[in-house]
Amino acid sequence: MVKPRTRTTKPTLAKRGDQNGRATHAAHAAPGNGAVPVTSAASVAHPLDPLTPDEMAQAAACCRDRHRSPQLRFVSIALREPAKADVTAHVPGAAVTRRAFAVAIDRADGTVFEAVVDLTANRIDSWSTVPGAQPSPTFDEYGDADRVIRSDRRWRAALRRRGLTDLDNVQIDPWPAGNFGDPNEQGRRILRGIAYVRDERASNGYARPIEGVVAVVDLNERRVIELIDEGDTPVPAADIRYDAAAQPALRDDLRPLEIHQPEGVSFTLAGHLLRWQRWQMRVSHHPREGLVIHALGYEDGGRLRSISHRMSLSEMVVPYGDPSPGQYFKNAFDSGEIGLGRLTSSLTLGCDCLGEIVYLDGWACDPFGQPQRIANAICVHEEDFNLLWRHHDGHSESTEVRRSRRLVVSSWATVGNYDYGFFWYFYEDGSIEHEIKLTGIIQTMAVKDGETPPTADLVARNLAGPIHQHFFCVRMDLDIDGAANTVSEVETRPLPAGPENPYDNAFEAVVTPIRSEAESGRSVHSPTARHWRIANPARTNAVGQAVAYALFPGETADMMAGEASSVAKRAAFARKQLWVTREAPDELYAAGAYPSQTTGGDGIPSFISGNRLLEQQDVVLWYVIGTSHIVRPEDFPVTPVHRSGFALRPWGFFDTNPALDVAPPVAGCACAPGECVHGH
């Protein structure tokens, strides 16, 4: 599922593209050519700036000095974010106290450590063990798992029984183990290894799964502790490839489509501070969460009004619905069990991103604490998005049209077979959308001729894709014009027929505050158009309403696994679409800090157990995007992009439409002939 990889640590500048999609260094572009200023990677201008490579290496050195073991390995090293009050009080140009948070494991005995390193003072602030925790495997542990599986005589014999003799052509995917009550696995640090056949380097291994063979590896002991070898399903014969070289012919009837901004982009990026139109935010990369948006605000009337302190993917889980020996355990928590951020993809101009692009690099550490650069980890660009608003006045025979342009901040991560894109869209009217794009390759299972399991669907001969779901929990620390907010559930309901509703046509919006965490855990309900409003009662708009934003659901799904299942207990956050908690700096992850091999109860269930009051408080929203994937032949050998997400829209946050001042389009002016008021 996860493959080790090595990256260079050579510094880089963010890049942008010209109108033909060619990359140019921003620092070398001529003034007025749309160049975007980018600070050097070594500079730290703000408390929320992510760790520089030097700071990451410094933190690792401090940890090694504290724990002098040659078997010490680093899972992650990231910024220890300061308290919100400290961020708010920061004065530009003032000294910044920097701290790092490191998670490490001693592979000699499996002890897990958490460290807070004061980088300013070059010392360890805190050092503690985390009994029972199983953090994400390090890349060298994945490599060890591959080696010990290949050297296990039982595994090699299982493959020989299936007619496989050239084991160099076998692809091994390591999977998180989960926790299904097996006493032999308790207290161990384990992975499950499944295998596929690749005829050559460019083959698609997922077309040829080796069904019923699962190796259970103890990462601390570096050995296979159990080999599951069940069934006699043959390996599918066909190598079904998706690469261009394998296609009989490619389409040749598309003409070039170029995105041209002759005066350059309309945003500025100084370090990690991004400004566009009325928007301002800080953009960074985290080794676990990936793309993070900090300090989001909208300028209104000369004042920067806060909307969110922090937004990111908190956790995700992909439960599979097939109970067979080679499938039942597939319930991957791609953030907490694997580390989504360190699997962020390097984006390519003209392929992943089109047009005038600015990139930000990301950084993660290798198992030895050395900084590893992820080039072009985050993409920033503008897109035309059809109409912003429009009206034709039949009395004056005039038409006013404004085109919509949006700012796009995005990144991609590849976790084994699946690729996930995370896209934040910001609009000129103050609206925000978050969209997650799913593509890549489905998980597959081999089936015999004439068989189709009820929990899977055929995608090719002797090949099926198990039905599964994807749940993404986005954590949003919203500060709507300040931190003291109240979240309410809003539903449209009909009024009873009677004297006050004589035509039986009246309906109203019912607004119900979520007063405490015990009332949290809300579900989407389409018949009543249920959504949620986040308001600041201390601030009102021109008509006396509390300023607010509203969260509108997109596609969603309920978890199909039963409440007694292992995944339902461990991913309790996915049982509902919305949770609300009081802000707490250490409550970041919906399934807990270390979801691997737990029995459940961490994360959201623990956070809400104190039943804290929520009205006019600093609150955090946890919104869960859910999709059910019943596979189809068109999903193989590679799946077309599927999109899911949600929207945040101003709801009385402004006194009027904030996009009235957007200029009319220049080309194709909508004014009557000879009467253009815009000078076109």
Q: Residue 17 falls within a domain, yes or no?
A: no
| Strand arrangement, sheet containing 639-650 | 358-365, 371-393, 398-415, 418-427, 432-440, 639-650, 546-553, 531-540, 486-494, 507-513
The verdict on 124 and 143 lying in the same domain is: no
Q: Residue 678 falls within a domain, yes or no?
A: no
User: Into how many domains does the chain fold?
Assistant: 3
Q: Is residue 244 classed exposed, middle or buried when 0-12, 13-18 and 19+ CB atoms within 10 A define those classes?
A: exposed
Cβ–Cβ under 8 Å, residues 285 and 360: yes
User: Which of 653, 658, 619 shows the shortest CA–CA distance to 547?
Assistant: 653
Cβ–Cβ under 8 Å, residues 490 and 624: no
Q: Averaged over 157-166, what is the pLDDT?
A: 94
Q: Last residue of some domain: 129, 164, 196?
A: 129
- DSSP letter at 607? H
Pick from 19-28, 225-234, 323-332, 474-483: least confident: 19-28
- What is the pLDDT at residue 1? 65
Cβ–Cβ under 8 Å, residues 115 and 63: yes
Please write the tens of the pLDDT for every residue from 175-212.
999 999 999 999 999 999 999 999 898 999 999 999 99
Q: Residue 266 falls within a domain, yes or no?
A: no
What would you report as the CA-atom Rg of the chain, rounded to the nearest whole angstrom?
27
Sign of CA dihedral 198, 200, 202, 203: negative
Sign of CA dihedral 278, 422, 643, 533: negative
Q: Last residue of some domain: 96, 129, 162?
A: 129
Please write the tens of the pLDDT for every residue from 269-324.
999 999 999 999 999 999 999 999 999 999 999 999 999 999 999 999 999 999 99
The verdict on 73 and 207 lying in the same domain is: no
User: Which of 642, 303, 327 shows the shortest CA–CA distance to 465?
Assistant: 327
The verdict on 381 and 525 lying in the same domain is: yes
Which member of 49, 173, 322, 334 is catalytic? 334
Q: Say yes or no to pLDDT of 28 above 80.
A: no
Q: Last residue of some domain: 129, 148, 173?
A: 129
Is 298 one of the catalytic residues? no
The verdict on 398 and 498 lying in the same domain is: yes
Instruction: Decide which of 398 and 677 is more confident.
Output: 398
The verdict on 410 and 381 lying in the same domain is: yes
Q: Residue 677 falls within a domain, yes or no?
A: no
Domain assignment of residue 96, given as a range: 39-129
- What is the pLDDT at residue 496? 96
Q: Residue 373 falls within a domain, yes or no?
A: yes
Cβ–Cβ under 8 Å, residues 549 and 534: yes
Q: Residue 107 falls within a domain, yes or no?
A: yes
The verdict on 491 and 631 lying in the same domain is: yes
Alpha carbons 141 and 64: distance in angstroms, whole number: 19
The residue behind tokens 């994360």 is: 603
Please write the tens of the pLDDT for every residue from 33-80.
232 333 333 467 899 999 999 999 999 999 999 999 999 999 999 999
Fill in the amino acid letter for 23: A
Which CATH number goes with the domain that contains 66? Answer: 3.10.450.40
- What is the pLDDT at residue 24? 30
- What is the pLDDT at residue 494? 97
Please write the tens of the pLDDT for every residue from 539-594.
999 999 999 999 999 999 999 999 999 999 999 999 999 999 999 999 999 999 99
Cis preceding-peptide flag for 637 (omega within 30 of 0) = yes
Which residues 6+ apart lie within 8 Å of 87 measured at CB? 47, 48, 295, 309
Alpha carbons 307 and 325: distance in angstroms, whole number: 47
The verdict on 367 and 451 lying in the same domain is: yes
Which residues 6+ apart lie within 8 Å of 530 measured at CB? 489, 490, 491, 522, 523, 524, 553
The verdict on 177 and 322 lying in the same domain is: no
Alpha carbons 603 and 587: distance in angstroms, whole number: 7
Sign of CA dihedral 433, 571, 81, 119: negative
- What is the pLDDT at residue 39? 31
- What is the pLDDT at residue 676? 53
The verdict on 72 and 192 lying in the same domain is: no
Q: Residue 277 falls within a domain, yes or no?
A: no
Please write the tens of the pLDDT for every residue from 240-272.
999 999 999 999 999 999 898 999 999 999 999
> For 190, what's the count of Cα atoms within 13 Å in the CB-facing half-sphere?
26
Is 243 one of the catalytic residues? no
Confidence of residue 394 (pLDDT cuts 50, 70, 90): very high
- What is the pLDDT at residue 9? 32
Q: Residue 343 falls within a domain, yes or no?
A: yes
Tell me how crowded residue 460 is: count the other CB atoms within 10 A of its CB. Answer: 15
- What is the pLDDT at residue 668? 54
Cβ–Cβ under 8 Å, residues 413 and 290: yes
Tell me how crowded residue 668 is: count the other CB atoms within 10 A of its CB. Answer: 9
Which CATH number goes with the domain that contains 430? Answer: 2.70.98.20
| DSSP result, 136-205 | PPPHHHHHHHHHHHHH-HHHHHHHHHTT---GGGEEEEEEE------TTTTTS-EEEEEEEE-SSTTS-G
Alpha carbons 16 and 30: distance in angstroms, whole number: 13
Identify any residues that bridge with 536 across adjacent strands, giving them in sequence order.
547
Confidence of residue 93 (pLDDT cuts 50, 70, 90): confident
- What is the pLDDT at residue 2? 60
The verdict on 350 and 237 lying in the same domain is: no
Q: What tokens does 262 get?
A: 């002759």
Alpha carbons 229 and 167: distance in angstroms, whole number: 17
Please write the tens of the pLDDT for every residue from 525-546.
999 999 999 999 999 999 999 9
The verdict on 173 and 44 lying in the same domain is: no
The verdict on 423 and 516 lying in the same domain is: yes
- What is the pLDDT at residue 48? 97
Q: What tokens does 150 get?
A: 């290949």
Cβ–Cβ under 8 Å, residues 315 and 624: no
Whether the model clears a pTM of 0.85, i.e. scores above it, the answer is yes
- What is the pLDDT at residue 445? 97
Q: Which pairs from 221-225 meet CB under 8 Å and 24+ separation? A: 221/188, 222/144, 222/148, 223/148, 223/152, 224/148, 224/149, 224/152, 224/154, 224/155, 225/184, 225/185, 225/188, 225/190
Q: Averaged over 220-245, what is the pLDDT?
A: 95
Which member of 196, 298, 320, 418 is catalytic? 418
H or E element in which residue 360 lies? strand 358-365
- DSSP letter at 504? S
Alpha carbons 548 and 453: distance in angstroms, whole number: 49
Strand segments, DSSP code E, in 91-145 are 99-106, 111-118, 123-129
- What is the pLDDT at residue 41? 37
Q: Is residue 17 classed exposed, middle or buried when 0-12, 13-18 and 19+ CB atoms within 10 A define those classes?
A: buried
Q: Say yes or no to pLDDT of 11 above 80.
A: no
